[in-house]
Amino acid sequence: TVIIPLLQIVVVINAVALSASLMTLFERKVIAWTQSRLGPMRVGPYGVLQAIADPIKLLLKEDITPRKADKWMFTLAPIIALVPALVVFSVMPFGSEKLFGSVDLFIADINVGLLFIISVTSIGVYGIILAGWASNSKYPLLASLRAAAQLISYEIAVTMTLVSVTLTAGTLSMVGIVEAQQEAGLWFGFVQPVAFVLVFVGGLAEINRVPFDLP
């Protein structure tokens, strides 16, 4: 009973890591192309291992804490921002087929999965505010409040837009939403194109990607 949930977690983490690695490489290649550069080329053939080199470089960087900062809170802040983003993958379905014939490609299927995602991800805002406050400097505090205001404003828009998905699928379960699209034979992005664009733009702002990378 313990092995199967652990196996599910390993599968989900690897799926997320692989997706992030491919998107990182794709993003860097596209940005390089728009700037008339080659992009990552030295790590592996055509730079395919750059997504592995980046986190290694990040982990080996020196962790600098301001002299007058609250050390424990300053360390806790990025953890609070990161953990909710990872927790939401516990209700994300990655496929309908069972792995090895018995392992589901999702960790948990709860009937309020979409509500769970919205609730958990909203906690990440506290990490940004806490980072600014724990630095014991008014400038990072003001910047963190500005960043938090951005996240909250776009979060409201995304949450309201996701209501259309719930109404179309008739359920808050993430597995149920995927199955509803499978039964309909098309993605809800084609059924609700305006909502899709709003969620996409709001999603870029929520994960702090260009042009919403101020946080």
State the average pLDDT over residues 72-95: 87
Question: Nearest 5°: CA angle at 71, between 69 and 74?
Answer: 80
Share of residues in the chain with pLDDT > 90 (%): 8
Q: Are 174 and 109 contacting, i.e. CB atoms less than 8 angstroms apart?
A: yes
- 5-24 as b/e, with b when 16 or more CB fall inside 10 Å? eeebeebbeeeeeeeebeeb
- Residue 130 pLDDT: 92
Q: Please state, rounded to an integer, the average pLDDT across all residues of the chain.
A: 84
Q: Is pLDDT above 80 for 175? A: yes
pLDDT band at 134 (very low <50, low <70, confident <90, very high): very high
Helix or strand holding residue 173 (H, E): none
Q: Is pLDDT above 70 for 48? A: yes
Of the listed ranges 8-22, 141-155, 178-192, the least confidently predicted one is: 8-22
State the average pLDDT over residues 16-28: 77
Q: Is pLDDT above 80 for 74? A: yes
Q: Is pLDDT above 70 for 60? A: yes
State the average pLDDT over residues 81-88: 87
Is the previous residue joined to 78 through a cis bond, with omega within 30 degrees of 0?
no
pLDDT band at 1 (very low <50, low <70, confident <90, very high): low
Whole-prediction pTM: 0.74
**What digits encode the pLDDT tens for the residues 142-171?**
999 988 888 888 888 888 888 888 999 989
Share of residues in the chain with pLDDT > 70 (%): 94
Q: Is pLDDT above 70 for 2? A: no
Look up residue 209 and give its two tokens.
């990607």
